[in-house]
C-alpha cells in the first residue's frame, strides 16, 4: 500500500504578450490537500535587470518555487540578464543537483521577447504564441486569454486579469485574489 502525501500547492499562472507589453498574473489560493489554507498568496514577481524587466510566476510547492526563484535570479545576474541562457542553466542545475532535483514546482518566466516554462525534469519549453500558462487552472486561463487576445481590444494586463477571473470561476484550485505585474 502506498501512502498519499499531502502537499501544498500554489496554482494558476498566466503570461500574456500584447500591445508591446508583457503581463503575468497569478491567483492567491494555496491548498493543502482538499482544503484552501491561504487566499492571498503572491506567486508572481518582477526581476530587475539592466536590459529591462523579467517577470515570473510559479505553480507547485510554494517553498520549492521560492527557492527556484532565488536560483533563477542568481542565473540572471550571472549571465547579465540573458533570459534564454539563464533559463537553460537553471534547468540543468535543477535536474542534476542532489537537493534541487527534489523540488516540486514549475516556473513561468517572460521578458519582452521570450517566454519559457521550466520544470525540474530538465524541460525548458518556449511556446509558439503570445500566451503561456501553468498550474491547475492554466488551461482555463489560457483558453480565455486566447479569446480576449483575438479581439485586439485589450492590453496584456487586461487580458491576464480577465482570464484569471474566468479560471477562478471554473477551477476549484484557483481563486479571484489576483496579482498582475506588467513590463514593457
CB under 8 A, 24+ apart: contacts of 145-149:
145/14, 145/16, 149/16, 149/18
Contact 107, 57 (CB under 8 A): yes
DSSP state of 18: E
Q: How far apart are CA 174 and CA 131, in angstroms?
A: 18
Residues 11, 12, 174, 179: which is the catalytic one? 11
| Nearest residue to 23 via CA among 147, 133, 139 | 133
Q: Is 12 tagged catalytic?
A: no
Give catalytic residue positions: 11
Amino acid at each position: 500500500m502506498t501512502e498519499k502525501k499531502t502537499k501544498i500547492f500554489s496554482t494558476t499562472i498566466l503570461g500574456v504578450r500584447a500591445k508591446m507589453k508583457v503581463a503575468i498574473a497569478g491567483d492567491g489560493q494555496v491548498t493543502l490537500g482538499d482544503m484552501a489554507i491561504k487566499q492571498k498568496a503572491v506567486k508572481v514577481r518582477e526581476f530587475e535587470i539592466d536590459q529591462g524587466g523579467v517577470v515570473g510566476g510559479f505553480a507547485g510547492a510554494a517553498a520549492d518555487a521560492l527557492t527556484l526563484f532565488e536560483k533563477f535570479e542568481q542565473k540572471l545576474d550571472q549571465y547579465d540578464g540573458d533570459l534564454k541562457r539563464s533559463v537553460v542553466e537553471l534547468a540543468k542545475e535543477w535536474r542534476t543537483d542532489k537537493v534541487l532535483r527534489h523540488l516540486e514546482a514549475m516556473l513561468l518566466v517572460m521578458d519582452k521577447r521570450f517566454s519559457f516554462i521550466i520544470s525540474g525534469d530538465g524541460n525548458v519549453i518556449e511556446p509558439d504564441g503570445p500566451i503561456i500558462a501553468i498550474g491547475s487552472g492554466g488551461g482555463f486561463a489560457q483558453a480565455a486569454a486566447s479569446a480576449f487576445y483575438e479581439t485586439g481590444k485589450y492590453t496584456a494586463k487586461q487580458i491576464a486579469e480577465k482570464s484569471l477571473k474566468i479560471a477562478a470561476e471554473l477551477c476549484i484550485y484557483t481563486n479571484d485574489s489576483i496579482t498582475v505585474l506588467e513590463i514593457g
